[in-house]
Amino acid sequence: MTFFAELKRRNVLRAATFYAASAWLIVQVATQVFPFFGIDSWVVRWIVIAAAIGFPFAMLLAWFYEWTPQGIQRESEVHSDESVMRETSKKLDRWIIAVLALAVVLLLTNQFVLRKDAVAESGKNESTVPGKSIAVLPLVNLGSDPKDDYLGDGISEEVLNALSKLHGLKVIGRASSFQFRGRDVDAGKVGRALNVGSLLSGTVQRDGSNLRISVELIDTVTGAQLWSDRYDRAFGSLFALEDDISGAVSKALAVKLGDAAGQPLVAIATTSAHAHDLYLQARTLAEHSDEADLNQAVVLYNQAIAEDSNYAAAWAGLASAYAFLSDAYRAPIDLYPAMKSAAEKAVALDPNLADGHAFLGYALMADKHDFPASKIEAERAVALNPGSADAHMFLGLYRLQGEHNPAAARAESHIAEKLDPRNPWNLYTEMWAATAAGDSDGVLDLARRIHASDPGFFYLSDPMVYAYAVAGRWKDCIDRSVVAQKANGDQPDFAAAICHAHAGDSAQARRILAQLEIAARTRYVDGSDIAAIHAALGENNAAFAALDYAYRDRSQPLLNAWFLPWFTPLRDDPRFQALMDKIFATRKEAVAS
Q: How confident is the model at residue 16 (pLDDT cuts 50, 70, 90)?
A: confident
How confident is the model over 377-392, as a mean pLDDT? 94
Smallest Cα–Cα separation from 177: which of 227, 216, 139, 224?
A: 139
Q: How many CA atoms lie within 13 A of 104 on its CB side?
A: 6
What mean pLDDT comes out for the span 577-584? 94
Distances (CA, A) of 247 to 137, 254, 272, 465: 17, 10, 23, 46
Q: How confident is the model at residue 587 (pLDDT cuts 50, 70, 90)?
A: confident
> pLDDT by residue (tens digit) across 180-201?
887 778 888 999 999 999 999 9
Q: Which DSSP symbol is given to 179? A: T
Position 165 confidence tier, pLDDT thresholds 50, 70, 90? confident
Sort strands 133-136 and 170-171 into parallel, antiparallel or unpaired: parallel
Quote the distance between the C-alpha of residue 253 and its chain's center: 23
pLDDT score of 83: 56
Mean pLDDT of the chain: 86
pLDDT at 89: 65
pLDDT at 10 over 80: no
pLDDT tens profile 314-337: 999 999 999 999 988 899 999 999
Give me the pLDDT at residue 70, please: 56
Q: Residue 588 — very low, low, confident or very high, per pLDDT cuts 50/70/90?
A: confident
pLDDT band at 503 (very low <50, low <70, confident <90, very high): very high
Residues 328, 459: contact at Cβ < 8 Å?
yes
Lowest mean pLDDT: which of 75-89, 135-149, 279-293, 385-399? 75-89
- What sections of 137-272 are H helices per DSSP? 149-164, 174-177, 187-194, 238-252
Collapsed DSSP state (helix, strand, coil) of residue 218: strand
Percent of the chain with pLDDT over 70: 86
Write 22-25 long-range contacts (CB < 8 A, 24+).
Answer: 22/99, 23/51, 23/54, 23/55, 24/103, 25/99, 25/102, 25/103, 25/106
Alpha-carbon span 538 to 320, nearest angstrom: 38
pTM over 0.85: no
Q: Could you read off the pLDDT of 202-256 as tens digits, one per residue?
A: 999 998 889 999 999 999 988 888 999 999 999 999 999 999 999 999 999 888 7
SS3 228: strand
Q: Indicate whether 441 pLDDT > 90.
A: yes
What average pLDDT score do residues 526-545 get?
Answer: 96
Cβ within 8 Å of residue 126, ≥6 positions away: 221
- The 10 Å CB-count burial string (b at 16+, else e) for 283-297 is bbbbbebeeebbebb
Per-residue pLDDT tens over the stretch 467-502: 999 999 999 999 999 998 887 777 889 999 999 999
